[in-house]
Amino acid sequence: MVTIETIETFIVDVPTIRQHVLAMATMRTQAMVFVHVRCSDGVEGIGEGTTIGGLSYGDESPEGIKLTIDRHVAPLLHGSDASPARATMLLRKSIVGNHFAKNAVETALFDAAGKRAGVPVSELLGGRVRDRLPVLWTLASGDTARDIAEAETMIDQRRHKAFKLKIGKRDLVEDVAHVAAIKRALGDQASIRVDVNQAWDEATAKRGVAMLADADVDLIEQPISGANVSGMARLTAMGRTAIMADEGLRGPIDALRHATDAAADVFAVKIAQSGGLRAGAAVAGIAEVAGIGLYGGTMLEGPIGSIASAHLFATFAGLAFGTELFGPLLLAEDLLAEPLDYTEFSLAVPSGPGLGLTLDMEKVRAFRRDGDRRTVISISKAVGA
C-alpha cells in the first residue's frame, strides 16, 4: 500500500493585472495556498486552496486553509492510504466543513495518483470528452468605457467572447445601465452575463431580473443570498432569463435541494466550494439528472486549482454555459514553467500525467509569504524520473 509521508503548505501572494471589483470586496492581489504531498513510493502531488476576497466572500481564508491542513489534516493523513478516495473518506469522517482545505489536499492526491498511473487526472474522473474548454472573462473594473475597451481587445485577440460583469455594489438602475451599455456596444459578438454575488434582496432581484432580461443578458448568477433557496426558485420561475446558483451550492446536498426545489436553471460547479473533485462531480451529476445546465466555475484559482477544475469539467457531457477558468490570466506573473494554452476562446486541458503542469519554482519562491528560499523538489517528478 502506498501511503502519505508528508503534506506541506505555503502561501503565495501574487498581484493581479488590474483591480477586480466584486460586490463585497475589491481584489488587487490573490493569495493562494499551495499544498505539496509526498508519498511513500516517492511520487509527489500538488494542490491549491484559494478563495476570493478573504473572509468577505466565505468562511475560509488562506491563513485558515493553511492552518487547517497543517494542524489537522496532515497529522490525520500521515501514514494513511494515498488513494484519493480513501483519504477523502477519512477527512469527511473526521473534519466538518473546511471544503477548500479538503479540496486542496484531494487535488494533490489526484495529481500524485495520475502520475503514478501515467494518466491525466481527467481519466481518473471518468475520462474526458473534450480537450478544450470555452472560457469567459470577467469585466470587473466598474468603468463602462474601460470594460467595453477590454472586451473588444479580448475578442480581437480571440481569447474570450463571453463576458461576466460583477454588479450589486451600486444602485440597481446604475448597474443595469452599465450592463446594458456594454451589451449594446458588443452586440451579437459576445454573450453577456452578470454576477450579483448575493448582493440583492428578493424584491430588488425581481426588478433586476426583469430589467436585465430586457437588456438581453444571458445569465444572472446568484442574485440573492445562497441560503434563500425558496427565493431562488421564485426568481427562476419568472422565466425571464437563466438564473444560476453559485454560493448556494456547498456540495451535493445543496445541489439536491436546489434541483428538488427547481431553484436554478444552471449550476456553477466549483471544486473548492463543493469540497473536492469527487464532490464537484457529484454536484454535476445531480444537475445532469435534473436537466439543469452546467457552468464551470472558479474561485479565481491560480494554475493548479484552475487546471484541476479543467480536468473535471472536461469529463462533463454537457457544458452549455462554458467555464470561467481565467484565474491564471488575472495574475501579474505566470507561475508555470510552460504557460497554459488560452487560444481560440478556450483553454487546452493538459494531457500529461496527473495535472500535467510544472511550476516555475523560482517564481513561486519570489511570491512566498514566508520568504522561504529553500530548494523545493519539482512537482513534475513522476515514477522513475
Which active-site residues does the annotation give?
Answer: 166, 324
Radius of gyration of the chain (CA): 20
In angstroms, the CA 45 to CA 262 distance is: 39
In angstroms, the CA 219 to CA 297 distance is: 14
Q: Which of 124, 104, 127 is nearest to 114 (CA)?
A: 124
Contact partners, residue 67, CB within 8 Å, separation at least 6: none
Specify which residues 3 forms β-bridges with.
81
Length of the chain, in residues: 385
Where does the chain have alpha helices with state H?
A: 62-68, 74-77, 84-94, 99-117, 121-124, 144-156, 172-186, 202-214, 229-237, 252-260, 271-274, 277-290, 303-313, 327-330, 361-366
